[in-house]
Chain A
């Protein structure tokens, strides 16, 4: 008896130094981590937002505030229409109706405590201590109400599916990886946006899909899509996964019809105020697709922007043809992962498909913004326990690709602190990244051995990683301390873009092949089973 206790003692000491934190189960460790994550978010909220004190157009903060002003003071049918009271050229509403409703609710909140901040016309460029605080709190509350519960839901589903085996502390680490993702925190609580809502809805949809509640998943995903059209990055994955599952069903037509009805129904409810006439609906639609803004903006690390160093897309082709190009390129690159999911829908494959489709969109679609890298990052954080190294690496480059943007927003301090926090949590002593003899890494090796070994062994070689890490560190310092030559004022941005783009392309290749390996692995397993 004594010996048993002693053995366990040692086990506890060396196995899991976090058991005191996680002993009460996932939910309590979730509460603990989420309070900390909330604290971090509030602290980031102390920092400036985009376009602070920057007349006359300000930034995303002013855009969101302006939407609250518009939605609060005008009837719903005028929200997307240019009129004497709604000047669409000044931060006109260009997100789907759910964002408008959310702006309305937040507008009511702002009006209660600070009526000046949402007065029609008079509040343009309104900036005050209280105004900033209330706006920050609206993001915080959205996080608490939507993103956090969705993450809890996902983690519980993920655990119950036994996708991520391991100790309780692994689950806590997983939660921390999702909740403390520095990019999302910086964009939402620093730069100022409401990505937490659409991403939260997406996570909930993923969790529902994984737990076989396909109808719920469709509703949630439609809501996400109706909050930010950018959620369409995930559409191919959802579409193919759900379709693949329907096809495996006895009655595929019925299943597809059910899903279709649900989707149409959700859209109808959300779009209700604009469905009375064709013009109204089309007016909203045209607002949602700002093609006039060009195929890329600033220095985003995607294909069009990077290749424009060599090929001047904007000069050579019309917007019309570029639209076709980008659509074709996006769909083509999505196709492999879609086909895989239609043929063999699986939970893990679904998560990889989300990753792949969002990466395709990020790299090839029209009008991509630096912030869009949040979308590919999201499924990767969900896969944190499987893709540890990639998570570290991709987060690094996602942060890096947003660095010029965050530098403009004067968020460098928050950037450094959050990056350090992420690294610390990632390498938590006794956490999953510290242990390398876990069962999952063996699994990982098995799957990667088949063909992927070479690529990943090069990409994750310590020397390569160290070299690239050093490069980006030096570039950070150069960016902060030196002025670019007058001839090339955006030289540093371009270099950052090039580096990040090269990595993103590698990631896309890697994850795509990973997804296909997965099905091969599975089918070979199936075959073995059949033989037995």
Chain B
């Protein structure tokens, strides 16, 4: 525990140092939400259009902002002023909001603490390093600006309660989380199936009683969140604000998911057909901004609708749901949830690259379970962090993101090689490498007989080396060789390259879930 606090303290000092760094418009978005919730009555929160940054998170988050706005008002009333506060960039506003994120990370601390309580001390340390010092979280929350650490705290709490068999608590926390940020709903099917099969079993009567219990809990949470808006008769407006399907298939910068390949395939075919002589009109609409009603952004391939992505996600998720239905195991819940987010990330509509954290944070809990997990996590974590690089496009933050990733990679390397040090077959050398032997036997007694030295295969190694190549190309060679021509290529390369890594991770997880018995 002391060590966990220490890790957290170190992270906090770094976060404090990063306060003056670049922040995205999300800072203004959240500042405006503070203003909305503070100066308007609840009935107008989801109607306000003073700024283009309308409130589009679920009610609990709005309440959270209302809570923060009380303190903001004490510090500088202009922060929460609906009109005068617009684009308010004073130090008071920035410091207040940055520090509110840092403080709200205490939830993450608590979540990590609860979910690692029962691990042996070494593994616990490693999970702490992976989560508390996660470079992705630092980049997204403390540079780019968002409140993800706080939300992941709830997610980890929920997962750890499920893993300990406290299903009702797990369900409760997940429901709360959904009312904070609906993006987490991708894992809802897994939760639903799991709770139905694991919690609501044991005969018809008992099952039904439990079903009503968990139903009551969920309904109560949602009533607490949405009740006031139902009372005002605004529920449709709230939903409309929360699900802006008017946005395009991809975000402004393409998240490294399946659709990147689809788009590239479309472009490729169109290019080839044009070469052959067909008259293919260039699509006018873009993938990022296009409204649903407008023309298709694709030249050849059928256009993708939100419904199609929804079905794709469910399809990808179905093996996991099936497994969970047949045999709901508390041990596997972290994996299932991470898998659900992987599917949502790969096939979802308007996915943001920040969502890759949804995969890497829950998986950190199981990364220390076996050597295979560690290898997979190493790759995934690097890719997931690297895919966040385009978020910080200014020169000032360039060394920061590179050093963060580098430090994370080295720490992971040290962690995992300490956990999986040497071949146990050389038992005679016990005296020589005391440490390695001792920790091997402790690290994972279950499979102590196998060889388990943490080492990456040549495929993984060359893939990671490729990350360096892509980065060097995008940052240095491309501007140097091509100048301003094809300015989208570096970003596209990052998207595609990371998409390969995430696809691999998806397949690996899928395989794991299917073959596990």
Assembled-state Cα–Cα distance A512/B421 (Å) = 47
Assembled-state Cα–Cα distance A414/B14 (Å) = 10
Contact indicator A421/B414 (Cβ below 8 Å): no
Contact indicator B438/A42 (Cβ below 8 Å): no
Contact indicator A420/B122 (Cβ below 8 Å): no
Residues of A1-39 at the interface with B, using a CB-CB cut-off of 8 Å, are 1, 4-5, 8-9, 11-13, 17, 19-21, 23-24, 28, 31-32, 35-36, 38-39
Given A5-B441, A46-B21: A428 in contact with B6 (beta carbons within 8 A): yes
Provide the residues of chain B in CB contact with A133, threshold 8 Å: 395-396
Within the complex, what minimum Cβ distance (angstroms) separates A467 from chain B? 25
Assembled-state Cα–Cα distance A44/B18 (Å) = 8
A424 at the interface (CB under 8 A from B): yes
B51 at the interface (CB under 8 A from A): no
Contact indicator B441/A429 (Cβ below 8 Å): no
Within the complex, what minimum Cβ distance (angstroms) separates A429 from chain B? 5
Please tell me which one of the listed residues A5, A28, A43, A429 contacts residue B3 in the complex, with CB atoms under 8 A apart. A429
Q: For chains A and B in complex, what number of residue pairs have CB atoms within 8 angstroms?
A: 114
Please tell me which one of the listed residues B13, B396, B430, B434 contacts residue A420 in the complex, with CB atoms under 8 A apart. B13
Assembled-state Cα–Cα distance A414/B13 (Å) = 9
Residues of A179-235 at the interface with B, using a CB-CB cut-off of 8 Å, are none
Contact indicator B403/A429 (Cβ below 8 Å): no
Assembled-state Cα–Cα distance A250/B470 (Å) = 62
Contact indicator A413/B403 (Cβ below 8 Å): no
Assembled-state Cα–Cα distance A430/B441 (Å) = 22
User: B388-406: contact bitstring with A at CB < 8 Å (1 yes, 0 no)?
Assistant: 0000000110011001101
Contact indicator A413/B19 (Cβ below 8 Å): yes
Q: How many residues of B contact A (CB 8 A)?
A: 44
Within the complex, what minimum Cβ distance (angstroms) separates B375 from chain A? 17
Chain A, residue nearest B442 (CB): A9
Contact indicator B439/A46 (Cβ below 8 Å): no
Contact indicator A19/B435 (Cβ below 8 Å): yes
Instruction: Describe A's contact surface by its main secondary structure.
Output: helix
Contact indicator B407/A12 (Cβ below 8 Å): no
Provide the residues of chain B in CB contact with A39, threshold 8 Å: 14, 400, 403-404, 407
Chain B, residue nearest A420 (CB): B13
Assembled-state Cα–Cα distance A133/B21 (Å) = 12
Given A17-B121, A420-B13, A424-B6: A42 in contact with B434 (beta carbons within 8 A): no
Please tell me which one of the listed residues A1, A23, A43, A429 contacts residue B418 in the complex, with CB atoms under 8 A apart. A23
B419 at the interface (CB under 8 A from A): yes
Assembled-state Cα–Cα distance A500/B10 (Å) = 27
Category for how many chain A residues contact B = 35 or more
Provide the residues of chain B in CB contact with A35, threshold 8 Å: 403, 406-407, 410
A47 at the interface (CB under 8 A from B): yes
B487 at the interface (CB under 8 A from A): no
Chain B, residue nearest A129 (CB): B396
User: B184-216: contact bitstring with A at CB < 8 Å (1 yes, 0 no)?
Assistant: 000000000000000000000000000000000
Within the complex, what minimum Cβ distance (angstroms) separates B118 from chain A? 16
B9 at the interface (CB under 8 A from A): yes
A140 at the interface (CB under 8 A from B): yes
Instruction: Describe B's contact surface by its main secondary structure.
Output: helix
Contact indicator B13/A424 (Cβ below 8 Å): yes
Assembled-state Cα–Cα distance A420/B12 (Å) = 9
B482 at the interface (CB under 8 A from A): no
Contact indicator B419/A20 (Cβ below 8 Å): yes
Contact indicator B430/A140 (Cβ below 8 Å): no
Assembled-state Cα–Cα distance A430/B404 (Å) = 25
User: B14-46: contact bitstring with A at CB < 8 Å (1 yes, 0 no)?
Assistant: 101111110000000000000000000000000
Chain A, residue nearest B411 (CB): A32
Contact indicator B20/A46 (Cβ below 8 Å): yes
Please tell me which one of the listed residues B400, B430, B435 contacts residue A23 in the complex, with CB atoms under 8 A apart. B435
Given A20-B414, A424-B10: A36 in contact with B16 (beta carbons within 8 A): no
Provide the residues of chain A in CB contact with B121, threshold 8 Å: 13, 17
Chain A, residue nearest B8 (CB): A424
Residues of B347-403 at the interface with A, using a CB-CB cut-off of 8 Å, are 395-396, 399-400, 403
Provide the residues of chain B in CB contact with A40, threshold 8 Å: 14, 17
Given A8-B438, A9-B438: A414 in contact with B418 (beta carbons within 8 A): no
A275 at the interface (CB under 8 A from B): no
Provide the residues of chain A in CB contact with B18, threshold 8 Å: 43, 46
Provide the residues of chain B in CB contact with A424, threshold 8 Å: 6, 9-10, 13
Contact indicator A17/B3 (Cβ below 8 Å): yes
Residues of B427-455 at the interface with A, using a CB-CB cut-off of 8 Å, are 430, 434-439, 441-442
Chain B, residue nearest A2 (CB): B441
Within the complex, what minimum Cβ distance (angstroms) separates A164 from chain B? 20
Provide the residues of chain A in CB contact with B415, threshold 8 Å: 20
Most buried by B among A23, A24, A414: A23
Contact indicator B17/A414 (Cβ below 8 Å): yes
A416 at the interface (CB under 8 A from B): yes
A417 at the interface (CB under 8 A from B): yes
Contact indicator A21/B17 (Cβ below 8 Å): no
Provide the residues of chain A in CB contact with B439, threshold 8 Å: 12
Assembled-state Cα–Cα distance A416/B17 (Å) = 9
Chain A, residue nearest B438 (CB): A8
Contact indicator A418/B17 (Cβ below 8 Å): yes
Assembled-state Cα–Cα distance A428/B10 (Å) = 10
Provide the residues of chain A in CB contact with B437, threshold 8 Å: 5, 8
Chain A, residue nearest B409 (CB): A35
Provide the residues of chain A in CB contact with B436, threshold 8 Å: 23
Given A17-B125, A23-B414: A413 in contact with B395 (beta carbons within 8 A): no
Which B residues are within 8 Å of any A CB, using their own CB?
2-3, 6, 9-10, 12-14, 16-21, 95, 121-122, 125-126, 395-396, 399-400, 403-404, 406-407, 410-411, 414-415, 417-419, 421, 430, 434-439, 441-442
27 contacts between A and B (CB under 8 A): A5-B438, A9-B438, A20-B414, A20-B418, A23-B435, A28-B414, A31-B410, A35-B406, A35-B410, A39-B14, A39-B400, A39-B404, A42-B400, A46-B18, A46-B20, A47-B17, A129-B396, A130-B395, A133-B395, A417-B13, A417-B16, A418-B17, A420-B9, A421-B13, A421-B14, A429-B2, A429-B3
Sample of 17 more A-B contacts, CB < 8 Å, known A13-B121, A413-B19:
A5-B438, A17-B3, A21-B411, A23-B418, A23-B436, A32-B410, A35-B403, A36-B407, A39-B400, A39-B404, A44-B17, A46-B21, A130-B395, A413-B20, A417-B13, A424-B10, A428-B6
Which A residues are within 8 Å of any B CB, using their own CB?
1, 4-5, 8-9, 11-13, 17, 19-21, 23-24, 28, 31-32, 35-36, 38-40, 42-44, 46-47, 129-130, 133, 137, 140, 413-414, 416-418, 420-421, 424-425, 428-430
